[in-house]
Amino acid sequence: MRSHLPPSLAAALGASALLASGGAYGQSPPACTSLPNPVYLTLGATQEPLLKNIGQKLRNAADPAVRMTVVYLRQGSCSNIDGIYAQPTKPVTQNMVYVPSAEEDPAWTPDKASPTCTVPVEGVRPDIANSNAFVSACVDEATQPPNVMQFRAAVQAYGFIVPKGSSQQAITAEEAYFAFGFGARGGAQPWVDEGSLFILPNDRSTLITTMASVQVPRERARGVRQTPSEVINSVALAPNPEATLGVAGIELYDQQRDKLKVLAFRSFKQRFAYYPDAKTTRFDKENVRSGLYSIWSPTLYITKVDPTTKAITSDDPARAQRARYLIDILQGKSVTPAPGFEPIDLVLRAGLVPNCAMRVSREFEAGPLSPFKAEETCHCYYESKYPDTYAATCTPCTADAQCGGGKCSRGLCEAP
């Protein structure tokens, strides 16, 4: 399904918004409502790198019809769901952050902190709420209002991490159950010191998904609760590497492989333990894609919609159109006008697996897997990014007719 921006909206998106009172950006935080073509999100921390990269591309797009400013607030997944489920949507009343343009800050890059913008006293209502765990892990899905819809995007993998100096290579679901469920009383050697177990707050997707995978109620999980970056640092710098165990998003682990190891995981009823990648030296997430590595959830982007037409709604119709366009990009769909970049490349850079490259799916946290094929697949394009892993079995193409009943997508034949 293609996303189209109407000509009237394209013209509106090309117009420059007024700057906040006080002059140039950087002198004082601008008003969020003054930023050019904003779209407001409440965002889980694991998705911030991806949204900063995509936001930078959109903010600096050559086509004025594509330009928008991604404005967001970092919160836990369950908090984001609660806010968008509220009737009406719960406003954000604390200051947000945004992705600046090259003109505003030529030195800004997505690895830097996003600048702050101020919200009005009454707040702003987010157009999109991000959850990196299934909604059912936070609330009863039967309570979902009829004017709310979920859109699945890239898959986020999680894992159990240890310091580089640890001799441990793998963990079973049973060991993790006793370590995080009972601490010292669990006897899961060497992870019996609760002060050396590092986890996240209850509403964070990292804790939700990892604990669901080992059947530990997240509110009862043993360990020191910290932010994602604090967990990474605590594990990496632990004075007792052998006793140390933490949980983290795999994309964060990938950035710290010189200091950390991710443990191969053997789920309940599995015979073997698997890493997220085919080998520890790769970044291909092959075992996530196939379902052999089971600690993962899809990222969800949740919005208000018209209950009848399912069209995205917002306080501002132009923002609703921008929200639809952004969600389609995050889902790896074809969009019009073209964004001028390949969104899947940014998904890969963020350490996620695009939904279009998954071969399996599930319907709730740690639920059973079923075969899956996306509406628009990207297996060949995904695998072309890992030439050291995959044989060149995908045929280059310029048209569907060259693909034997398949579809030519991104210059490669995707299977029918």
pLDDT at residue number 26? 47
pLDDT at residue number 345? 94
Q: What are 221's two structure tokens?
A: 């999980």
Inter-residue contact 211 to 365 (CB < 8 Å): no
pLDDT beneath 70, residues of the chain: 1-26, 389-392
Q: What are 50's two structure tokens?
A: 């991806």
**Rounded-to-integer distance, Cα 170 and Cα 85, Å:** 39
Inter-residue contact 366 to 134 (CB < 8 Å): no
Which residues make beta-bridge pairs with 55? none
Which residues make beta-bridge pairs with 118? 31
pLDDT at residue number 393? 73
Quote the percentage of the chain above a pLDDT of 70. Answer: 93
Identify the architecture of domain 156-294 in CATH.
3-Layer(aba) Sandwich (3.40)
pLDDT at residue number 332? 84
**Rounded-to-integer distance, Cα 3 and Cα 357, Å:** 20
3-state SS of the chain: helix, strand, coil percent to 5?
Answer: 30, 20, 50
**Segments of the chain assigned to CATH 3.40.190.10:** 156-294
pLDDT at residue number 322? 97
> How many CB atoms neighbour CB 268 within 10 A?
13
Tens of pLDDT, residue by residue over 350-359, are 999 999 999 9
pLDDT at residue number 390? 66
**Rounded-to-integer distance, Cα 288 and Cα 291, Å:** 5
Q: What are 111's two structure tokens?
A: 């690895």
**Rounded-to-integer distance, Cα 73 and Cα 42, Å:** 5
pLDDT at residue number 354? 95
* Pairing, β 407-409 against β 370-371: unpaired
Mean pLDDT of the chain: 91
**Rounded-to-integer distance, Cα 376 and Cα 184, Å:** 48
Inter-residue contact 83 to 127 (CB < 8 Å): no
